[in-house]
A = this chain, B = another copy of it.
């Protein structure tokens, strides 16, 4: 009997919004457009529900639908996201200074903020034709393995530092891992020097020099780094430029 039961469990009863965001989250850099079923399986939302919700999202402008039926992230989201103080808000005042740094050095320039135990790349100016792009705007990167990451981590609450130490400290390109003590030493150096220097040998040897941007109450709210081929210049030579620009941005934020 029970077996034949129609059951019809509309069950688990999961917050509506969660599902919607899971659908949105199923997109990725490699999959900018997805079919309904792809979204459905990736976000683990039944097909019928996925369709219904996706349609509502289209109505809101959060998604757009192509002629072939596939879904794409919509412009409306950009519109709203551009109001995020820690995103485009920050970017707006920082960008001109980043450009200065960009033309002065001719290298990649990165702007990132911390979100939980990761760094989010808010803006990136790429050296023309230079080495492959490592991270994309809107993407996340580990705190322990990048210049901006180290910078943000060094000035984060110690509870978070502990949490990161306890986590995964592997360095991706090379196949080794940091020990918590190595990291602790590095962070101390970052705090002392006011800049973070990180190197990465892999695809091509790159070195990044990062400095923090301070908010109104002298708390670290973001970090900027210049990423150069290690062979190109002495990274130390970049230190004055990066710190100077970061101080300028910090001042501009206060004024803004």
Please judge, given known A-B contacts A85-B32, A85-B73, A87-B78, whether A57 and B17 are in contact too, CB under 8 Å: yes
Does A39 make an interface contact (CB < 8 A)?
no
In the assembled complex, A152 has its CB within 8 A of some CB on chain B: no
Question: Copies of this chain, how many?
Answer: 2
- A27 and B87 contact, Cβ closer than 8 Å, known pairs A21-B62, A56-B18, A75-B113: no
Residues on B with C-beta less than 8 A from A15 are 56
Interface string of A137-163 (1 = CB under 8 A from B): 111100000000000000000000000
Are A17 and B81 in contact, CB atoms less than 8 angstroms apart? Answer: no
Shortest beta-carbon distance from A136 to chain B in Å: 7
Residues of B within 8 A of A215 (CB): none
A53 lies within 8 A of chain B by Cβ: yes
| Known contacts A16-B16, A56-B17; A82/B33 CB under 8 A | no
Within 8 A of B (CB), among A96-152: 96, 99, 103, 113, 115, 120, 122, 125-126, 128, 136-140
- Given contacts A28-B83, A73-B83, is CB(A78)–CB(B138) below 8 Å? yes
Q: Closest residue to A82 on the B side, CB-wise? A: B138
- Given the interface contacts A20-B17, A62-B21, A82-B138, does A73 sit within 8 Å of B87 by beta carbon? yes
Within 8 A of B (CB), among A59-77: 59-62, 64, 72-77
Known A78-B84, A78-B122; 5 more pairs at CB < 8 Å: A75-B86, A77-B84, A79-B139, A83-B138, A103-B103
Question: What are 6 contact pairs spanning A and B, CB under 8 A?
Answer: A61-B115, A64-B86, A73-B81, A95-B125, A96-B128, A99-B99
